[in-house]
Structure 1
């Protein structure tokens, strides 16, 4: 039994050594996220608008708009495009903000919305790229998501995004991109608040 204390001491030493080997380090490990390079902040840019000639305003479409919508179009800071179909001009909602304008209209068959913005966001790590489709003579992206067809392109230095949704998901009109492309081609210019050059007459 004289060897028992020695054996106990040896076992305790082994246990202590094992505990020390698994004990947490005195300093916390570095945060992996902190070791990653910081992502450069997104840059917001106000694009330069190229205004269509005043003579190109579609007077028929402008006259078909309700007075509040026509007034809103004249105060827009971007060139306002609207569908030329009278049923979509009967009771639209036109919202104007500092850098963007939106158009919304609905019939029994379809809902149409168009967003127009001169505010662009640039990501330093993502190079610009062009859409593979063409809308109104410009490179464009044409996509579908849950039955809503979308077309996005740049015109007049402004980003336009047109969305078309059918009242019935099974409607033949929304079975392909034909309708959104057709409506995009029919868009007409109805005005905007073009900045005047110095010396222009009021």
Structure 2
């Protein structure tokens, strides 16, 4: 299994090497060029990952039918396999956006907010191996983090990088005291399609 690629631009600041200072250098000596001490920014051009499309038979038609028409149409246009929560309260009024290389899903209830970003863009840096997650989500190596009450799981599935965020309406809510809810929602994600699959009887 590949490691988790960097989905956004990562800036690696490498301090420029400065020559050792000679204390005996007279004051009239020209100072070092200030530009030599500036951080070195290393970037990498994005790579479009190869997508593996699940078979049409694996589409959860019940979840697809539960999506509002606008969200369902966006799912069909998606350039990546679309996963969504199977809980009906999260499918009632979601925001689903499909762009050239990525798709995003967002929904909320009275108690939680859930977002899922799906992208086929990778950034590979020479000499830096992909990060290998130490957790497991949906039978794949994953990175799980918590930041200001928001739990995030990132993993690769179908050749695509998925990042699931879960936030409780109340920071003190027991449901967000651990990564249990995040893992539970991740395990419940279902496939609802994309441009790479044709569902018999489906209308554009």
Deviation at 1:194, TM superposition (A): 1.1
Task: Give the deviation of 1:144 after TM superposition.
Answer: 0.5
Q: Work out the CA distance in 2 between the residues paired with 1:31 and 1:195.
A: 56
| Counterpart residue number, 2:56 | 54
Count of residues in Structure 1 that have an aligned counterpart in Structure 2: 174
Q: 2:105 aligns with which of 94, 103, 109?
A: 103
Aligned to 2:163: 161
Distance in 2, matches of 1:35 and 1:89, equals 49
- Displacement of 1:40 after TM fit? 5.1
Change in Cα spacing, 1:162 to 1:42, as seen in structure 2 (3 Å) is same
* CA distance 1:138–1:194, shift in 2 (3 Å): same
The structure 2 residue matched to 1:67, chosen from 66, 69, 82, is 69
Partner in structure 2 of residue 24 of structure 1: 28
Aligned to 2:87: 85
Higher relative contact order at CA 8 Å, sep ≥6: structure 1 or structure 2? 2
Runs of 4+, deviation exceeding 3 Å:
27-32, 38-41
Q: Measured at CA, do residues 168 and 119 of structure 1 come closer, stay the same or move farther in structure 2, by a change above 3 Å? A: same
Relative distance call for 1:41 and 1:150 in structure 2 (3 A) is closer
SS in 2 for 1:180: helix
**Structure 1 unpaired stretches of 5+:** 1-20, 197-202
SS in structure 2 opposite 1:71?
A: helix
What SS does structure 2 have at the residue aligned with 1:72?
A: helix
How many angstroms does 1:28 deviate by?
Answer: 5.1
Q: 1:63 to 1:40 in 2, by over 3 A?
A: same
CA distance in 1, matches of 2:135, 2:31: 53
CA-based RMSD of the aligned residues comes to: 2.1
Following superposition, the deviation at residue 29 of structure 1 comes to 3.3
CA contact (8 A) 1:40 1:124 kept: no
Pair member with larger Rg: 1
Structure 2 segments unaligned to the other structure (5+ residues) = 1-24, 199-204
Choose from 31, 36, 39 the match for 1:33: 36
- Could you tell me whether the CA contact under 8 Å between 2:61 and 2:192 is conserved in 1? yes
TM-score by length of structure 2 reads: 0.79
Label 1:35 to 1:60 Cα distance change in 2 as closer, same or farther (>3 A).
closer
